[in-house]
Amino acid sequence: MFCGEEMENKEYLQIVGDLLENRKFNKLKQEKHHHNSNRFNHCVDVSYMTYNVCKKLKLDYESATKAALLHDFFFDDEFKNKRKRMLSHPETAIKNAKKITTLSSKEESIIVSHMYPIGGKMPKNIESIVVDVVDDYVSLKEKLGGDLKSLKAAVNFLFVLTINVLLR
Ligand SMILES: [Fe+2]
Ligand SMILES: [Fe+2]
């Protein structure tokens, strides 16, 4: 959650500090997300976990961290109904993100595939898979609450399996 460890991580703040202070992005604090969270905190949690995982794996953690922060940059009133929101919010997040920053093609690709396989496009790079898995993990944690050790182990297993398949 924002105002935790990430606030003291200078490198993390160098990557996304300006976005965290952006007025429009801060409006996500008023958007409910997965019952127990708001969308701002959700995006920060996904982004900070992505930062740690990608850095550890020596991936392009700067692109992944920024894209992860912006992956759910949308507002409920931008959609007619829940189904439309679920299917098209990645594109809306990209559109909204481009109003406050520039996005590389890789960052766009990470955002557009974060709902795969439920919706969104298929991930094109390993950073996209990390954001997709981390988003699922954070979302489940928000829905169920608490510190889910067995879930974490399951996600870790899935993650390692994915990487092994990709690096074959
Ligand atoms: Fe999403
Ligand atoms: Fe998300």
- CATH code for position 37: 1.10.3210.10
With the C-alpha atoms ordered 62, 64, 68, 74, is the resulting torsion angle positive or negative? positive
pLDDT (0 to 100) of residue 62: 98
**C-alpha 60 to ligand 1 mean position (Å):** 21
Is the pLDDT higher at 153 or at 87?
87
**C-alpha 17 to ligand 1 mean position (Å):** 21
What residue numbers bound the domain in which 10 lies?
Answer: 5-167
Separation between Cα atoms, residue 19 and residue 38, nearest integer Å: 17
Which ligand gives the minimal distance to the CA of 86? 1
Q: Find how far residue 21's CA is from the centre of its chain.
A: 17
pTM of the model as a whole: 0.86
The answer to whether the CB of 46 falls within 8 A of the CB of 135 is yes
* 62 phi, psi to nearest 5 deg: -70, -50
Specify the range with the lowest mean pLDDT, choosing from 9-13, 16-20, 35-39, 150-154: 150-154
Separation between Cα atoms, residue 36 and residue 160, nearest integer Å: 28
Which ligand gives the minimal distance to the CA of 94? 1
**C-alpha 46 to ligand 1 mean position (Å):** 10
**C-alpha 72 to ligand 2 mean position (Å):** 5
Number of domains in the chain: 1
- Encoding tokens for residue 168? 């074959």
Radius of gyration of the chain (CA): 15
Specify the range with the lowest mean pLDDT, choosing from 37-51, 60-74, 84-98, 112-126: 112-126
Separation between Cα atoms, residue 32 and residue 38, nearest integer Å: 4
Separation between Cα atoms, residue 86 and residue 56, nearest integer Å: 31
**C-alpha 111 to ligand 1 mean position (Å):** 8
